A and B are shown apart, each in its own frame.
Chain A
Amino acid sequence: METAIKTGSVKDKLISEFETSKYFLFGNTKLREKAMESFYKQGIPTRKHEEYKYTHVDSMLKEEFYFSANKNCNDEQIERLKILKDAYVVIIENGVFVEGLSNLQNLPKGLTICSLVDAVKSNSPVFEKHYAQYADVNADPFIALNTAMTKDGVFIHIAKNVIIEKPIHIIHVSTAFENTIINPRNLIVVDENSQAKIIESFEILDSTAKIFSNALTEIVINENDIVDYYKIQDENACLPDRQELGYLLNTTHVIQKKQSVFSIHTFTLSGSLVRNNLTLVLDGEHSESHLNGLYLTAGNQVVDNHTVVDHRKPNCNSNELYKGIINGKSTATFNGKIFVRKDAQKTNAFQSNKNILLGEAGTINTKPQLEIYADDVKCSHGTSTGKLDEDKIVYLRARGLSTESAKKILMYAFASEVVDTIKIEPLRKYIEGKILNHLNN
């Protein structure tokens, strides 16, 4: 399995790796073969693909890559990655669930957390019912690749009528000394009338090589659930001099049943390339979704947020706010699709993308796409890209602030609209600190 992909056709190398390893992987081989077939048809997207026009994943995949890396982390290192003092912590190291490093003692009644491998072994009916049912392998080559090649990840099941008070924190930590591709995958199923807060963070430690993480999470939200989901993407943060080793392709597919409330907050603070494909399906009446995003980019970073909000049932609300501060030669892309299906009358769908461009060398691509097939709906979208407001800088300087601190205070204020949506107090403090740190550099 330790064959490296050398130059030449990346696609062929991935396929040959799949052929040699497929029988060692968990679960249904047929499902994996079908996914690989779809991947073969779709191929790795190039800049000619509309959906990947601004995010050139193919160029970085041209290098030599391995498919697994040794486990390296110790408890002390993991300790540094914990954000909250009190949380159920799941460690996924190089794409594999590591029970020994996780903190899952005394799980409350109704909460199941285990590896995908164990979920298959134990024949969990919930797992079997929901696994690989939502993210369509034919919709995106990276969904297909993950479905074919994933080795592990976490399965979280919350039974009905349960409130999980403590947040669940999934930490993806990678360490690699050779270029590595990993395909971690999560399945989260919340049964009806339950509540939870989940944080998923992405970090790289002590590495000398690139890590391409093709991570996928499916989330099933049932009737009357209230779930808050936080993504913290800060892969280069722990690397000396913020080396550019982290490449993250993060697919998230959420399905919501009636009267549920789901909020997802995506903070992208570092990473050489970060592509988020977030799809949220409102598949039950009177459900409500909040999608918040904040990206702070610098250097040569590429950050691309593709979101899809799919209103399939009437009387649902969705509210989307993505904000970015773009520095250096970095590129930020926002593509927000909203579908309102024929039956989804009385839909309220709002979308806003605002960017601040610092300097002259950065690039922002922003594209709202609304497709509305119902007639009684309220939808709006807005985008703005600008520089920091001179009048505000003048006002702050007139009170004794230096130009630099005036700018910092204004950028922080811009970001705070998203930060203020964080409902876990220590997490909000943590993100505030990260942002201030970012603005100081």
Chain B
Amino acid sequence: MLSIKNLHASICGKEILKGINLEIKIGEVHAIMGPNGSGKSTLAAVLAGRSEYEVTEGEVTYMGIDLLELSPENRAREGVFLAFQYPVEIPGVSNVNFLKTAINEIRAYKGLEPMEAKEFLRMLKEKQKLVELDGKLASRSVNEGFSGGEKKRNEIFQMAMLNPKLAILDETDSGLDIDALRIVANGVNKLKSKDNATIIITHYQRLLDYIIPDFVHVLYNGKIVKSGSKELATALEEKGYDFIKEEAEA
């Protein structure tokens, strides 16, 4: 589904990603872990098409197409979803209107008619339940005055509404208490299927107790230095990132 080959990216002339290689098949869950500053969020931003990052080398193929050639909105329309580490507050734009616009623009891109109002409302209710999002939050302005946990839940709610093929969760667990973490993880698990794939970017192992990854990769200094199964995450939690650093520098 997603094939990343020798990906190099920099911001303001400073190289952050220094040759990433990653293969993700449909139906898989991959966790990308790493210490602060290793390039985790940069990888998420590059995949989502953030313009402040410059790809200097390498290629990213998604469902047979060159992902790097697509604008951010066309990536979203092709089924790539990024759950933001810091979701943006947009006063005056209601969640519901925003999602309706997003869904219909995605449908227009695929040559489909706008979604029927009734169908949209049905879906809205169903997905709200999935992430245990209060109906009041759904009708409020996007993220305005939401707590950290509510913002993250709202990201997963949007993900549920847009039903992506590839979901990238960028530090979705940061700032979540254990109850909120369970709700978010539960939502992600319910959305997981054999027809989609998930990339979980996280610093800590805790989220992975709830969303079991098929593969764990360790990113350090802009490169994937170690890949393994779920057990790798447990080892990291116990030993810390230092042993990775030592291995990498040895």
Contact = CB atoms under 8 A, between A and B. Distances in A.
**Is B truly associated with A?**
yes
Interface of A: 391-392, 394-403, 405, 409-410, 412-414, 416-417
A357 to B, nearest CB: 18
B3 to A, nearest CB: 22
A397 B73 contact: yes
B219 interface: no
Interface stretch (B34-42, B81-89, B118-126, B210-218): B81-89
B93 A398 contact: no
A398 to B, nearest CB: 6
A399 B90 contact: no
Contacts of A400: 73, 76-77, 102-103, 105-106, 109, 162
Contacts of B82: 398
Nearest to A400: B76
Contact of B48 (A398, A405, A409, A413): A398
Contacts of A413: 90-93, 141
- Secondary structure call for the A interface: helix
Contact of A401 (B73, B88, B158): B73
Given A394-B50, A410-B93, A413-B93, A399 B88 contact: no
A400 B82 CA distance: 11
Contacts of B139: none
- Secondary structure call for the B interface: helix
A417 B93 CA distance: 10
Contacts of A403: 73
6 contacts: A395-B90, A399-B102, A409-B93, A413-B90, A413-B91, A416-B92
A410 B141 CA distance: 12
Contact of A397 (B72, B84, B91, B103): B72
A402 B101 CA distance: 10
A416 B91 CA distance: 10
Interface string B101-120: 11101100100000000000
A401 B90 contact: no
Contacts of B92: 412-414, 416-417
Contacts of A401: 73, 101-102, 105
A181 B87 CA distance: 54
Contacts of B49: 398
Given A405-B105, A412-B92, A395 B73 contact: no
Most chain B CB inside 10 Å of its own CB: which residue of A391, A397, A398: A398
Contact of B76 (A391, A392, A398, A417): A398
A105 B142 CA distance: 47
A413 B84 CA distance: 21
Most chain B CB inside 10 Å of its own CB: which residue of A394, A414, A417: A394
Interface string B145-159: 000000000000010
Given A394-B50, A397-B73, A399-B158, A409 B88 contact: no
A18 B36 CA distance: 80
Given A392-B88, A395-B84, A409 B101 contact: yes
B84 A398 contact: yes
A350 B105 CA distance: 40
A405 B101 CA distance: 9
A320 B137 CA distance: 28
B243 interface: no
Nearest to B89: A392
A400 B70 CA distance: 12
B88 A395 contact: yes
A392 B73 contact: no
B189 interface: no
Nearest to B88: A395
Contact of A399 (B51, B76, B109): B76
Nearest to B142: A395
B72 to A, nearest CB: 4
Contacts of B97: 409
B93 A399 contact: no
Contacts of B48: 398
Contact of A395 (B51, B71, B87, B101): B87
Contacts of A392: 88, 90
A395 B158 CA distance: 12
Most chain A CB inside 10 Å of its own CB: which residue of B71, B84, B98: B98
Contacts of A405: 101, 105
Contacts of B93: 409-410, 412-413
B98 A399 contact: yes
A398 B90 contact: no
A405 B105 CA distance: 9
Interface string B63-76: 00000000111001
A405 B49 CA distance: 18
A396 to B, nearest CB: 7
Nearest to B161: A399
A387 to B, nearest CB: 15
Interface string B35-61: 000000000000011110000000000
Contacts of B73: 397-398, 400-403
